[in-house]
Amino acid sequence: MEQVMIAALLEKYWLAETTVEEERQLAEYFRQPVIPAQWEPWRNVFAYFETEAQITPGEDFEARLLERIRQAEATAPGPSNSDLRAAPVRPLFRRAPWWAAAAVIILALGISRLAESPGAATTPNDSVAQSGAANAGTTTSGEATAIKDTYDDPQQALAAIRRALGTASAKMNHGRNITQKQIDRMNDGLQSAIAN
Amino acid sequence: MSLDLFTQRILPMKDKLFRFAFRLLQNVQEAEDVVQDVMVRVWSKKEEWALWQSIEGYCMTAIRNSCLDRIRKKKLLSVQEERAAHISSTDKDPYENMMNKEILTRIRKCVDALPENQQQVVHLREMEGFSYNEIADLLNMSLEQVKINLFRGRNAIKKSITKEEGLWNR
């Protein structure tokens, strides 16, 4: 029964009509020690294929290949070589541009905070106030000097404040006088224009 | 991760690739060189692996192209002794004892003398167990051509045995 099946398979085999599975069955059959004498030559055919299928490269092939890959990795540029060596350093802002924005905001907050703290930084308004105090001849006026240099005697402090306020008042009155003069001149001009 | 994938899925193909290269080049050193070159090239394209339909198909095609390129550049000589040295591991197989070494040599010479297409089809089918479809894709030929080449190759082997012994058995 088996021989009939093998004979049929062999016929298909030589016509190239067998499946891979049928060819596996044939190969298995021809591994038997005893087969009909007329089929002995075919044993050699299947044995030859099986022998050829066992050929392998040299023992050091794999080691040499992996070494070549390591060498290729060591010389190849690019960020995709993380398996064999440390990941290359990327530019900070290329990797996360929002870091830059965050840094700028933090810096801006820090600067504004410093500007708000008394005497820590000089703003344009502070400069005007301090120069105004200097012009008035008072060394104790202005926020910076008031904090640094307080008076132990309340009477001295009061006198200093009066002097400062008096000076400021005199300057303010002077400014008011100038404004009043300008307004009077405008009124005169307007009335003469209306009269004409 | 890629190296793990390489050692698990690609490196184990080295024997199959080597045999195919050896079939085409019939030189151990050259076959090893070709397989190494192809595998290094495959490694360098690891970002593309996911896009490939079949890594094995890609490797086999690359082996074939590299070998054919080498063959075109120089005329190859048959190196039967070298081959014999490399299949020495099978000498211990009791199956080997049942074989008629003279017939084996005859088969080997016959296969080596087959036209290129027949050699490749016979190798891929008989040694590696590829389906007709896989062979057709790999060798860029139709299923009918695969079958014809296999038919002719097998029958050439059959004749090489029966011609001298006066046998013609099924």
pLDDT, one tens digit per residue, over B59-110 is 999 999 999 988 888 654 545 545 544 554 444 455 555 567 788 889 999 9
Asked if the structure places residue A47 within a domain, the reply is yes
Question: Domain for residue A184, yes or no?
Answer: yes
pTM of the model: 0.58
A94 in any annotated domain: no
Within 8 A of B129 by CB-CB distance, chain A residues are 20, 23-24
Domain assignment of residue A119, yes or no: no
Q: Test A45 with B107 for CB contact under 8 angstroms.
A: yes
Domain assignment present for residue A8? The answer is yes
Distance CA A10, CA B167 (A): 15
Of A45, A52, A72, Cβ closest to residue B157: A45
A153-188 residue pLDDT tens: 888 888 888 888 888 777 776 666 677 777 788 888
pLDDT of residue A90: 46
A124/B73 Cα distance (integer angstroms):
83
**Domain count across chain A:** 2
* Shortest CA gap A90–chain B (Å): 19
For each of the domains in chain B, give its residue range(s) and CATH number, in order of start.
1-86 (1.10.1740), 87-163 (1.10.10.10)
- Choose the final residue of a domain: A52, A70, A89: A52
ipTM value, please give it: 0.77
* Residue A12 structural domain: 2-52
Residue A32 domain-assigned (yes or no): yes
Tell me whether residue A110 is in a domain. no
Q: Using CA atoms, how far apart are residues B51 and B59, in angstroms rounded to an integer? A: 14
Contact A51 B14 (CB under 8 A): no
Chain A residues with beta carbon closer than 8 angstroms to that of B31: 57
Given A7, A23, A65, which is nearest B170 (Cβ)? A7
pLDDT in tens, A26-69: 999 999 999 998 898 899 999 999 999 999 999 899 999 999 88
CA distance A12 to A60: 42
Q: Which of B15, B95, B154 sits opposite A57 (nearest CB)?
A: B15
